[in-house]
Amino acid sequence: MEKLDLIAGATIALDKPLTWSSFSLINKFRYEACRFLGIRKLKVGHAGTLDPLATGVMILCTGKHTKQIPQLQEGRKEYIANIRLGQTTPTYDMESEPDAFFPTDHITRELVLERLQGFVGTIEQVPPAFSAVKVDGKRAYDLARKGRDFELKAKTLVIDEIELLDYTLPDIQIRVVCSKGTYIRALARDIGLALGSGGHLTALRRTRVGEFTLADCYRVEDIQSFLHQHVAPLDTTNE
């Protein structure tokens, strides 16, 4: 098997751990790769971030493969999402404490199945206030943390599939296949509203980006062994 040339360009899938930022994962890989190759700099980019409380597939591109990032970002994404109904949080996930509570007694499995199908197809979604969306040149999460009032415009996106995997009130688990730009946190919010209640994420795992699945991913603890097994060392014979 031909070894990868990270400087010329390679595409690698990693499984982002819980609480890690996307940039922390990139920095970890870059550090280990530079150390392995004995260089100071390596161009590394990614094809779509994940929130710190989300785990799963992140595609990293090095060298000239970074030019493929826009194309890779267009790939369909699949997620497994755990949603708690009956309450909301400002961030739509577990990063913040619940700020409101709602009834769930009226919610049935049949109602959940019916409402979920209403999200399949082309929909309009308002991004979370705590997101990287820019408002007048500033990140929305910066404005939200400062308590500023602002309005985010709805974005058009496509939900290909939604499947109910588990129904154990007040929690449900769903599988979502969607286009780029979809905020699963916002989807949890909207599902809660559609059920006449509230909702926020309790766990999120990205299981696929385009053709890359979790089966293709390396874990953080495997990065060093991956480099030694699959990456070509620098040729220093001519130095």
H/E stretch holding 144 reads: helix 140-145
DSSP code for 128: P
Chain CA centroid to CA 107, Å: 28
Q: What are the residue numbers of the active site? A: 51
Q: Which amino acid is at 26?
A: I
Q: What is the CATH number of domain 9-74+211-230?
A: 3.30.70
As a whole number of angstroms, the distance between CA 55 and CA 34 comes to 25
| Residue 27: both structure tokens together | 């920095």
Residue 68: DSSP 8-state: G
| Residue 13 near residue 57 (C-beta atoms within 8 A) | yes
Beta bridge partners, 122, equal 158
The model's pLDDT over 95-118, given as tens digits with 9 standing for 90+, comes to 999 999 999 999 999 999 999 999
Q: Strand, helix or coil at 181?
A: coil
Q: What is the CA radius of gyration of the chain?
A: 20
Which run of H or E residues covers position 25? helix 22-37
Q: pLDDT at position 234, please?
A: 79
Q: What are phi and psi of 177, to 5 degrees?
A: -115, 125
Distance, in Å, from the CA atom of 162 to the CA atom of 192, rounded to the nearest integer, reads 15
pLDDT recorded at residue 154 = 87
100 half-sphere exposure, CB direction, 13 A CA radius: 13
Q: Specify the CATH superfamily of domain 77-209.
A: Pseudouridine synthase (3.30.2350.10)
Contact in structure between 60 and 11 (CB atoms under 8 Å):
yes
Specify the pTM. Answer: 0.91
Residues 162-203: tens digit of each pLDDT: 999 999 999 999 999 999 989 999 999 999 999 999 999 999
Dihedral sign for Cα 22, 23, 26, 28, please.
negative
Low-confidence residues in the chain, pLDDT < 50: 237-239
Residue 24's pLDDT is what? 96
Q: Where are the domains of the chain?
A: 9-74+211-230, 77-209
Q: How far apart are CA 146 and CA 169, in angstroms?
A: 34
pLDDT of amino acid 141: 59
